[in-house]
Amino acid sequence: MTTKLVLVFAIFCLLVTVGFTLDPIELRRLGFEGHLSVDPSDLKAASSDFGGVNTAEPVAVLFPASAEDIAKLVKAAYESAQGFSVSARGHGHSTNGQAQTANGVVVQMSGSRGSRVGSGKPALPKVSEKLMFVDVWGGELWIDVLTSTLEHGLAPKSWTDYLYLSVGGTLSNAGISGQAFNYGPQISNVYELDVVTGKGELLTCSGELNPELFHAVLGGLGQFGIITRVRIALEPAPQRVRWIRVLYSNFSAFTHDQEYLISLSGQPATGKFDYIEGSVIVDEGLINNWRSSFFSPRNPVKISSVTVDGGFLYSLEITKNYNQSNADTIDQEVEDLLKKLNFIPAKIFTTDLSYVDFLDRVHKNELKLRSKGLWEVPHPWLNLFVPKSRIADFDNGVFKGILGKKTSGPILIYPMNKNKWNDRNSVVTPNEEVFYVVSFLRSALENGGEAQKLEYLTNQNRLILRFCYEARINIKQYLPHYTTQQEWMDHFGDKWAQFQQSKMEFDPRRILATGQQIFKPSFDTHTASW
């Protein structure tokens, strides 16, 4: 009996150190608390994403019950002579296969099975009211973070427009929305992380503890570790939101007013708005869109109802947060701010709603689109950071040029204050004190018109990028997608040397997040045998 146990142990050690040359089910010998699946339905789900363009089927999917499960998996990949890749997947909202891996293992961070707490999650959010923070699992969705913190009258400071995204997923990029001019992106509002590195080490890091790992991971596109726990800064949650939308036909006035409003970020709460986002409205498109239910469907507003020069309107959305205790002053605060803006007179649209309903505004329209089969379609999105000094050139060349009054989804445009971003983090932005987020959030419909087809929209994205290159507009991609390392080197610029050094330190075998196509793994994923 003893001899047999020794033999089994020797085979197990051989599998770990030499490489898994048998069936992937042999991975289960690592003793996961969670569930390692080779079920075809799980593999199929992990092989696709929101973008609906790229597919890559993994060999297995791990539903972790703990951070230790992830550490075991990554350590096995790191120590295996043959090697295999590991990619963390949250809600699957990436658009170019960034969370996918062929012939590797996907770690399904959101909606994990077989967890310790019996809630489909390895850990529940833990709120500290005294210290104003919450600790959450890396795969937690932001909507669930909000729900948990509101029980204590608190909420995170910075958001994304869509709350059904994982915490680890948005922090691997930056996490932006209309509050970022004031609080910075979500990565600027994190105190501490637990991270499984590419060596299989589970480390705690912060600005003081393992700071190199902390700053590398924030905005690091999953290259240095898998985020398993996050400590997020909180503030007292408002009860209500005054939501205002005004319209512009003049681009210069539109950008001037946005830049003025974000310059007020250092003012007291009464002297500034809490959320600022702009958008471009093309041709006969509804001023309303899938991002919000701002206007009544029975009373839509079209461009044709407004005198517009050139067929373009620009919409500015702004909000003021308030509580019942100061509801009597909100009207005057809003009026004082609006009177300094130069929007089209008599085109002010206002509504009041709860704080939760405002933050969760996109999800309500997602449900409507799902019911019509219009949500799970290809999404050839393009997100850019454009320097303030060239935003007028971008408007002329792209909005009024390449688009040709045709679009199939929202186009966002709003400014950021660079001083709200920590330059030590991995994410890169234009080298100007103010830069714009420009997001083309299009949906491809093969049964629609030519301008709605995937090929047309993908080619339009290429034309936009080419225009910026030829016009020497030094853009940076947000949620970046490149296919060569030289392109990635150009993207990171002065940060590339540090980025590469961090990769060698924390993921030397280049196991993690191979779907980003930044580094080639130290093994050939196309010939690896299980």
Given 35, 42, 49, 93, the catalytic residue: 93
Reduce the secondary structure of 286-323 to three states and give it as a string. ECCCCCCCCCCCCCCCEHHHCCCCCCEEEEEEEEEEEC
Residue 249 sits at the vertex; the CA angle it makes with 248 and 254, to the nearest 5 degrees, is 45
93 among known catalytic residues: yes
Q: Rounded distance, CA 128 to CA 149, Å?
A: 9
Contact by Cβ (8 Å): 349, 294: yes
Question: What are the phi and psi torsion angles at 185 (to 5°)?
Answer: -70, 175
Q: Which residue has the tokens 């994205």?
A: 461
**Tokens 């973008």 correspond to what residue?**
51
E strands, 355-487, in order: 382-387, 411-417, 434-440, 476-478
Among 447, 476, 442, CA closest to 461: 442
Residue among 49, 277, 360, 395 flagged as catalytic: 277
Sort strands 154-156 and 225-236 into parallel, antiparallel or unpaired: antiparallel
Output the CA–CA distances (angstroms, integers) from residue 72 to 28, 66, 306, 490, in the order listed: 11, 10, 61, 35
Strand pairing report for 126-128 and 202-206:
unpaired
Q: Is residue 42 annotated as part of the catalytic site, yes or no?
A: no
Hey, what amino acid is at 62?
L
Q: Which residues pair with 276 in a beta bridge?
A: 318
Q: What is the DSSP string of 325-368?
A: GGGGGHHHHHHHHHTT--PPTT-EEEEEEEHHHHHTHHHHHHHH
- The residue with tokens 């995204």 is 165
The token duo for 353 is 């709603």
Q: Going edge to edge, which strands form the sheet with 240-248?
A: 348-354, 240-248, 312-322, 275-282, 411-417, 434-440, 382-387, 476-478
- 436, 385 Cβ separation under 8 angstroms: yes
**What are the residue ranges of helices labelled H in 80-203?**
142-150, 167-171, 180-183
Active site residue 317: no
Could you tell me where the beta strands, DSSP code E, fall in 95-224? 105-108, 126-128, 133-137, 154-156, 190-197, 202-206
Q: Give the integer Cα–Cα distance in Å for 171 and 175.
A: 6
Residues catalogued as catalytic: 93, 161, 277
